[in-house]
């Protein structure tokens, strides 16, 4: 990075730290346990421009690098991971338009995404389709200047309080392979776009995650991203690389939170006449936790740099997502053990890390899938 970029990042991260300390940390514990949507915090995030983090400045965004964005997400997740999801899904949608949209679509929608006027996410997962996106059943049939959409989606973030989705649909159910019949629509809420119910979750609370039903929902044909049918899967996969970097950065944040809380607790909690940080068993756990955090951070930054260069980075993003989220899960578990009975109490944040971390190993492609992607890319990049 050049000096100007370095200075911009320092100022941005300092603003984020002050925002989190003043506006989020005092309220996160109660909001999370009550599963209450943080409306006031989201409005402040709009004012700060966080919904335009990686949208180009010419469209009203902040134009930040993915590396800076990942550092922002790490900081947010250290305090309350749910907020990072509110940004993530929205920016995957925005990224799809920024990378693959027509010039008219970019001019119309990116400024509205950047301001948060239009805020939402991606409509991918269905009741019988998660990792295998080619199995989606939601259809969009062209009728004149509109597409008529019918189907259902589930586990959709930002779908209750948001107002727009990048919606993955089948515009041709007969073509082989199936991905050639898949398209991506910019879908604003309207008649036929129904939120069926909010889903109750173990962790990742406070954020709206819902089931959706589309019944003769109409989308103007000029909202087809890129203006050509059959390219939806490729368009969204690029956004999912960004999503995996986001989830990996969340992993770093949760892993770091678990470490920092454990390190502080281990210095004040005493057993057998001395702080537990002086017991070798605790020292071994703390050392491993710290190493996981640092290794995860480096993998995330490597993936973010590759994404910024426009390089193919499914392997790098997969490595970061796999390792950092497993680190979060392991560190959350170790933090619970270090805190003992207090870790099991809702008075401490440790039990929240323990509930939040499992989502990370599932979301944006399971860690089993990430390992398959990594292995395939290793073979493809290293032929003999």
SS3 98: helix
Options 25, 351, 364, 380, the catalytic residue: 364
- The secondary structure of residue 275, as a DSSP letter, is E
The CA-atom distances, in angstroms, between 279 and each of 269, 274, 337 are 11, 8, 14
| Other C-beta atoms lying within 10 Å of the C-beta of residue 360 | 28
71 φ, ψ (degrees, to nearest 5): -70, -35
Decide if 45 contacts 116 (C-beta within 8 A).
Answer: yes
Q: 121 pairs with which residues across the strands?
A: 165
Instruction: For the chain, count helices (H), then strands (E).
Output: 11, 9
Residue written as tokens 């809702």?
346
The CA-atom distances, in angstroms, between 271 and each of 200, 282, 342 are 39, 12, 14
| DSSP state letters, 223-247 | GBGGG-TT-HHHHHHHHHHHHHHHH
Question: Catalytic annotation on 301?
Answer: no
Q: 302 pairs with which residues across the strands?
A: none
Q: How far apart are CA 349 and CA 258, in angstroms?
A: 9
The CA-atom distances, in angstroms, between 109 and each of 54, 122, 129 are 14, 15, 28
To 10 degrees, the CA torsion angle through 258, 79, 49, 92? 50
The CA-atom distances, in angstroms, between 60 and each of 119, 218, 341 are 14, 28, 49
Catalytic residues, which ones?
364
């Amino acid at each position: 990075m050049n000096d100007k970029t370095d200075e911009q990042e320092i100022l941005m991260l300092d603003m984020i730290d002050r925002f989190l300390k003043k506006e989020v940390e005092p309220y996160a514990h109660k909001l999370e346990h009550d599963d209450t949507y943080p409306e006031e915090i989201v409005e402040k995030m709009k004012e700060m421009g966080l919904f335009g983090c990686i949208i180009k400045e010419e469209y009203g965004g902040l134009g930040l690098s993915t590396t800076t964005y990942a550092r922002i997400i790490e900081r947010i997740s250290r305090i309350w991971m749910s907020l990072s999801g509110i940004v993530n899904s929205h920016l995957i949608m925005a990224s799809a338009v920024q990378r693959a949209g027509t010039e008219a679509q970019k001019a119309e929608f990116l400024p509205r995404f950047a301001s948060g006027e239009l805020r939402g996410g991606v409509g991918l997962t269905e009741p019988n389709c998660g990792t295998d996106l080619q199995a989606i059943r939601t259809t969009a049939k062209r009728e004149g200047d509109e597409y008529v959409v019918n189907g259902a989606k589930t586990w959709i973030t930002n779908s209750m309080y948001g107002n727009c989705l990048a919606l993955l649909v089948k515009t041709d159910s007969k073509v082989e392979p199936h991905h050639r019949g898949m398209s991506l629509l910019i879908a604003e809420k309207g008649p036929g776009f129904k939120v069926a119910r909010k889903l109750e979750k173990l962790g990742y609370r406070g954020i709206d995650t819902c089931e959706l039903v589309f019944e003769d929902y109409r989308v103007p044909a000029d909202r087809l991203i890129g203006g050509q049918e059959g390219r939806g899967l490729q368009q969204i996969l690029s956004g999912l690389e960004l999503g995996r970097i986001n989830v990996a950065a969340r992993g770093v944040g949760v892993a770091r939170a678990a470490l920092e809380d454990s390190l502080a607790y281990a210095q004040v909690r005493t057993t057998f006449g001395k702080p537990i940080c002086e017991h070798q068993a605790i020292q071994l756990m703390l050392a491993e936790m710290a190493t996981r955090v640092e290794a995860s951070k480096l993998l995330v930054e490597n993936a973010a740099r590759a994404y910024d260069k426009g390089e193919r980075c499914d392997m790098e993003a997969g490595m970061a997502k796999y390792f950092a989220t497993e680190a979060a899960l392991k560190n959350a578990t170790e933090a619970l053990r270090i805190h003992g009975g207090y870790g099991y109490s809702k008075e401490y944040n440790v039990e929240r890390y323990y509930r939040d971390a499992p989502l990370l190993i599932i979301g944006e492609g399971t860690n089993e899938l990430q390992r398959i992607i990594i292995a395939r890319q290793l073979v493809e990049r290293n032929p003999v």
